[in-house]
Amino acid sequence: MSKAFAFKTSLPPWSSSEPPPIPCNPQFRLTPTTRRHLINSISILISPFFASPKLNDPLSPFALPVSNARGLFQMPPFRLTNRYFLVRAGESEYESLGLINTNPVAKTSVDNGLSEKGKKQTVRAAFDLKEMRACEGNCWIWPSITQRAYQAAEIIAAVNGVNRSHIVPEYSFLDARGLGAYEGKSLDTLSEVYESDSLSPSIKPPPIDDGTPNESVSDVFVRVTQLMSILETQYSEDTVIIVSPDSDNLTVLQAGLTGLDLRRQVVLVTPTFKLRFVDASSIPTYKQPASTVYKCLNPPSCT
């Protein structure tokens, strides 16, 4: 048999000196006196937070430090907070056979590692970096996850006394430039790609259906700009050694950092292994063509 329980609550009598409670009646309308009372109550509650903020009080919202934001990274940058060395990984096994290999599926393959010649090239670059005192301060090595680039990073770290924890693999922004239908062709055919690049940075190599991307110079420019945005945000006053599996990433990056026309990045491409220090004075002088200077003053009549 169930029992019913009655709960009795005793409330203190309502004081006549206090405003009457607001009834739960949809037809009820606040009188001017009641509104004034509510407004005064709210102002009393919030006034301690805004009347006299204590900047030294850790619990005060006004004590929070202001973020020193650097803004979006732009090419060419107004300044760089770090110094950069650009290293092309030494010759790969595929390159030793005179073949182009840019398919990202094979980038971690053992066959895509450094050849014997490539290892010697990387050791020379590592000692060049040591001679330049690149890693005397706080030094970070950012290699592509590509097999040959990561192998090169480990050699550089060993020679320069860099802890392995300072090797940060990059998974996509430093992939070798995808050359589409040129995949598997002779390295000699790269001259055709660079000839197109000199006409427009937006021209892509012909596509192919084996998964190899066909990237223009502009596509590579977007990738390396994203990389620099991360590096300039993550580090400050450090040395960063960027290790790329190919030259195109580095030449496009160097052109972007120094304001060189992207159609001219091909003048920075070298057939042999090369270590680069980001230095504006090393960029060859270049006069812009008339097509980039000419402006139509009376469109659509531009004659």
What's the whole-number mean pLDDT along residues 271-278?
71
- The answer to whether residue 279 scores a pLDDT higher than 70 is no
Mean pLDDT of 145-172: 96
Of the candidates 73, 2, 108, the one whose C-alpha atom is nearest the C-alpha of residue 225 is 73
Q: What is the pLDDT of residues 201-243, one digit of tens each?
A: 999 999 999 999 999 999 999 999 999 999 999 999 999 999 9
Phi, psi of 257 (to 5 degrees): -65, -30
Mean pLDDT, the chain, integer: 80
- pLDDT of 57: 53
Task: Examine the pLDDT at 253 and tell me if it is beyond 70.
Answer: yes
Q: Which of 2-6, 126-130, 136-140, 176-180 has the lowest mean pLDDT?
A: 2-6
pLDDT of residue 41: 57
Distance (Å) of CA 289 to CA 15, 100, 204, 263, 282: 89, 32, 22, 11, 21
Give the per-residue pLDDT at 172. Answer: 93
Cβ distance 76 to 259 under 8 Å? yes
